């Protein structure tokens, strides 16, 4: 059985998880940038990881736009974000709706992992985007619980990555 771990990562947390997963599975790990779906046809199992940016899983269209070609593969997609993992309505609702418009295919299983956001490391466009989001959310008269959480998350400044979080995904791919 041939397995590959692919990732897209701007600030490094998804890359760290990809490397830990690759180490645990003893398989190849590759930055997904520039990878074509045809290059994946020789693998039986594919792990794809992407950082969450405005609910979009970075680069996941490599999987979602090629799902027909990849339909006989066992696929795990993991997200890396700063939204707490108990916000299931967020992960199972908004995130899936935005990235898997036709629903999650049967051969794909989703995992959510905690990433990092170090405000001082953010690019200027990202810093401005976070500032703008906080301003918009703070201006709401009756913010929903999710909007209140978003305001808090704009100030989340820390590294929440943890190797232990890969356990379920690794077990799934090995199984
Ligand atoms: C502009 C911007 C938008 C973000 N949007 C989300 C989001 O929608 N949901 C989330 O949970 N985290 C969000 N984050 C946090 C990132 O997903 C988090 O920093 C993640 O670890 C990034 O992955 P990377 O280190 O592999 O690039 C956002 C961060 C930035 C800078």
Give the predicted TM-score (pTM) of the model. 0.96
Tens-digit pLDDT string for the chain (175 aa): 899 999 999 999 999 999 999 999 999 999 999 999 999 999 999 999 999 999 999 999 999 999 999 999 999 999 999 999 999 999 999 999 999 999 999 999 999 999 999 999 999 999 999 999 999 999 999 999 888 999 999 999 999 999 999 999 999 999 9
pLDDT at 51: 97
Atom of ligand 1 nearest to the CA of 161: 21
> pLDDT at position 89, please?
93
C-beta of 57 in contact with ligand 1 (< 6 A): no
Does CATH number 3.40.50.360 belong to domain 3-116+159-174?
Answer: yes
Q: Which atom of ligand 1 is nearest to the CA of 83?
A: 11
CA angle 25, 59, 85 (to 5 degrees): 65
Q: Where are the domains of the chain?
A: 3-116+159-174, 119-156
Q: Is the CB of 149 under 6 A from ligand 1?
A: no
d(CA 55, CA 114): 14
From ligand 1's centre to the CA of 153, what distance in Å?
10
Q: What is the 3-state secondary structure of 99-163? A: HCCCCCCCCEEEEEEECEECHHHCCHHHHHHHHHHHHHHHCCCCCCHHHHHHHHHHCCCEECCCH
Q: What is the residue with the minimal CA distance to atom 6 of ligand 1?
A: 53
13 C-alpha vs ligand 1 centroid, how far in Å? 10
**Whether the CB of 11 sits within 6 Å of ligand 1:** yes
Ligand 1 neighbourhood includes 79 CB (under 6 angstroms): no
Whose Cα sits closest to atom 11 in ligand 1? Answer: 81
Query: Is any ligand 1 atom within 6 A of the Cβ of residue 54?
Result: yes
Q: What is the pLDDT of residue 108?
A: 98
Q: 138 CA to middle of ligand 1, Å?
A: 19
**Ligand 1 contacts CB of residue 48 (under 6 A):** no
């Amino acid at each position: 059985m041939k397995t590959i771990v692919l990732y897209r990562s701007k600030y490094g947390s998804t890359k760290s998880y990809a490397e830990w997963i690759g180490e645990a599975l003893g398989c190849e790990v590759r930055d997904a940038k520039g990878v074509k779906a045809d290059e994946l046809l020789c693998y039986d199992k594919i792990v794809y990881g992407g950082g969450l940016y405005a609910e979009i899983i970075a680069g996941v269209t490599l999987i979602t736009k090629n799902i027909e070609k990849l339909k006989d593969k066992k696929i795990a997609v993991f997200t890396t974000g700063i939204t707490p993992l108990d916000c299931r309505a967020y992960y199972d609702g908004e995130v899936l709706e935005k990235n898997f418009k036709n629903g999650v295919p049967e051969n794909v299983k989703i995992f959510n992992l905690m990433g990092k956001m170090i405000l001082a490391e953010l690019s200027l466009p990202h810093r401005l985007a976070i500032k703008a989001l906080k301003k918009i959310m703070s201006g709401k008269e009756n913010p929903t619980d999710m909007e209140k959480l978003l305001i808090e998350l704009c100030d989340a400044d820390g590294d929440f990555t943890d190797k232990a979080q890969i356990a379920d995904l690794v077990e799934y791919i090995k199984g």
